[in-house]
Amino acid sequence: MGGNAATQAAEAADAAAQPPSIVTRLFGGWPRRSERPPLDIRWWGLGFVLPVVMFFAVFSVFPVFFGFYLSLTDYDLLSPPLFVGLDNFRNLVSDKLFLTALVNTLIFVVGATVPVWAASLAAALLFDQVFRGRDVVKAIFFLPVLPPAVVIAVIWRLLLHPNGIATSTVGWFSGISEIPWLANTVLAPLAMIVVHDWAAIPFFMLIWLAGLAGIPQEARDAAAVDGAGALQRFWYIDLPLLRPTSLLVASLATINAFQSFVLQFVLSSDQGGPANSTLVLGLLVFKYGFQYFRMGDAAAVSVVMFAIIMSVTLLQLRLGRRVY
């Protein structure tokens, strides 16, 4: 107890010696007049950051607010927008296409996060071990991350031809010579998940590896001395210490999956087919905006997407704050 008090006092002394952080300045009160830099220097500072601030305001902040404004309009891009209030949002509730896309997106998100989280962790644990040829195998495993998503989609389009390599592989065991991977309403969404995960797992593996590298070997050694087996060391030492990494992987994977567009746009038949089975929210925004001339609805779907992603991310962050 006494030790704790001493530590707290030392931390307080350290904190007092540090200059106030930007967070303190923003949220912990403005510095006293005697601490502020002279006016002319502050103007210089403002002058230097102004171009970046303006760029950010024009190309990031303004579009966000303008998008929200558009979600309150009926706008076909060719005629002036008509203000319709919340009608677009009300209509979404009964919009079959939106509901189909929402369900498809949720299924895709589950398929593109849970397996990715687990498989990328497993891959990281594998490549965290020392074995002959590890670096070469790791580099090969990482290759799917390098090409752009469009290239990946085009390559997989060839692999998933009904008489292509994927069918031949399955046919080796089953004798089937034709599988409509992308033309079947059950197989096509699964194919999207598989292709996505194939490219995403190596990327997230790197993040896990960085997290594993940060775990002190002493903690593992101490557990080993206490008689903990490999599984126990992973469960009681590695996994708790990987909590921030785990949270990061879960958040990034979820956000990426919700925003998925290129894969469905390029790989699916008729951009979201067959029978809308691969239509996800990102693709629906594109279709509404640039194919159906319904920019107001596109903006409304975007706002809903934003709300969903933000809610899920906040939930993940909140869950991640729990301390055992």
Partner 1 sequence: MRHHNATLKSMMPHLTRRAFAVLAALVVTALLSAPVAPASAQTTTIKVWLHDHPPRVAIDKAIVAEFEKANPDIKVQYDVIPVGEYGQKLLTAFASGSGPDVFMNSILLVSQYQSAKILAPVDFAGLGYADEKALTSQYLTGFDGIRFGGKLYGLPIEVSNWVCYANNAIWKEAGLDPDKDFPKTWEALPAVMEKLTKRDANGVPTRRGFDFLWPNRNMFWFVLSSMFHQQGKDMVDAQTGKMAFDTPAAARAVQYMVDYANKYRLGGPQYGDARSDFLGGRLGTECSFGLFGIPQMKTANLQYTIKPAPRFADAASDNGFDAYAFYMMVNARSTPANQKAAWKYARMYLDRSVELFEKAGLFVPRPEVLASPGYKSDPNIGLIVDELKKAKFAPSIPGYDQVLDILLKGRDQMVQGGQPAASVLPAINDEMNTALARARTRAGG
Would you count residue 18 as binding partner 1 (CB under 8 A)?
Answer: no
Report d(CA 284, CA 259) in Å as an integer: 11
Query: At closest approach, how far in Å is the CB of 23 from partner 1?
Result: 19
Would you count residue 66 as binding partner 1 (CB under 8 A)?
Answer: no
Would you count residue 34 as binding partner 1 (CB under 8 A)?
Answer: yes
User: Which residues, 6 or more positions from 92, have their beta carbon under 8 angstroms from its beta carbon?
Assistant: 98, 297, 300, 301, 304
Would you count residue 38 as binding partner 1 (CB under 8 A)?
Answer: yes
One of 8, 43, 66, 240 touching partner 1 (CB under 8 A): 43
> Which has the closest alpha carbon to 202: 152, 256, 146, 244?
146
Query: At closest approach, how far in Å is the CB of 256 from partner 1?
Result: 24
Would you count residue 190 as binding partner 1 (CB under 8 A)?
Answer: no
Report d(CA 188, CA 20) in Å as an integer: 55
Query: At closest approach, how far in Å is the CB of 180 from partner 1?
Result: 4
Closer of 6 and 54 to partner 1 (Cβ): 54
Would you count residue 37 as binding partner 1 (CB under 8 A)?
Answer: yes
What is the residue whose two structure tokens read 């001395």? 225
One of 198, 261, 292, 306 touching partner 1 (CB under 8 A): 292
Dihedral sign for Cα atoms in the order 218, 220, 225, 226: positive
Looking at this protein, which amino acid is placed at residue 95?
D
User: Interface with partner 1 by CB under 8 A: which range of 22-30, 182-190, 204-212, 227-235?
Assistant: 182-190
Would you count residue 77 as binding partner 1 (CB under 8 A)?
Answer: yes
One of 256, 276, 313, 316 touching partner 1 (CB under 8 A): 276
Query: At closest approach, how far in Å is the CB of 289 from partner 1?
Result: 9
Query: At closest approach, how far in Å is the CB of 52 from partner 1?
Result: 15
Please list every residue from 100 through 119 that binds partner 1, using CB under 8 A.
Answer: none
Would you count residue 40 as binding partner 1 (CB under 8 A)?
Answer: yes
User: Number of residues in contact with partner 1, rule: CB under 8 A?
Assistant: 42
Query: At closest approach, how far in Å is the CB of 97 from partner 1?
Result: 9
One of 155, 184, 243, 313 touching partner 1 (CB under 8 A): 184
One of 13, 17, 78, 225 touching partner 1 (CB under 8 A): 78
One of 67, 115, 144, 180 touching partner 1 (CB under 8 A): 180
Would you count residue 76 as binding partner 1 (CB under 8 A)?
Answer: yes
One of 11, 35, 221, 226 touching partner 1 (CB under 8 A): 35
- The site for partner 1 (CB under 8 A) is made up of 34-35, 37-41, 43-44, 47, 50, 74, 76-79, 161-163, 175-178, 180, 182-185, 269-270, 272-276, 287, 290-295
